[in-house]
Amino acid sequence: MTLDSGTTRAQFELDDRGFDEVPRKYRKFYRKWLGDDADELAPNEVLCPVCKVVVRSSRELFEGDRIYCMACMTRMRVVRVNGRLEGQVEY
């Protein structure tokens, strides 16, 4: 996919991380957050501020993208906070 600025989004292959709080079909899109000291987010991952679960995407995420956390049913917009991508709750 090409963005307006001409850059392309990187594609990622997702694996099942054993997150069992969502249906099996969607488990590859979520993983548990291990904490600030032990965990670092990839360019295709966003931290949900409501349930502290990492939402994963098969493509690179940028600020302004909209995502959905199935674990807590929250719709978010991606923002950059302290250098990492986090979700800002919309509703």
CATH code of the domain containing 44: 2.20.28
Mean pLDDT of 13-27: 89
**pLDDT bracket for residue 5 (50, 70, 90):** low
Domain count, the chain: 1
pLDDT by residue (tens digit) across 38-87?
A: 888 899 999 999 999 999 999 999 999 999 999 999 999 999 888 888 89
pLDDT at 2 over 70: no
Distance between CA atoms of residues 23 and 70, nearest Å: 9
In a domain, 51, yes or no: yes
Task: Find the domain containing 72 and state its range.
Answer: 24-89
Is position 3 within any domain?
no
Answer whether 50's CB lies under 8 Å from 88's CB.
Answer: no
In a domain, 2, yes or no: no
Residue 53 and residue 35: Cα distance in Å, rounded?
A: 10
Q: CA dihedral defined by 81, 63, 7, 59, rounded to 10 degrees?
A: 100
> Bigger pLDDT: 57 or 6?
57
Q: Is 87 helix (H, G, I), strand (E, B) or coil?
A: strand
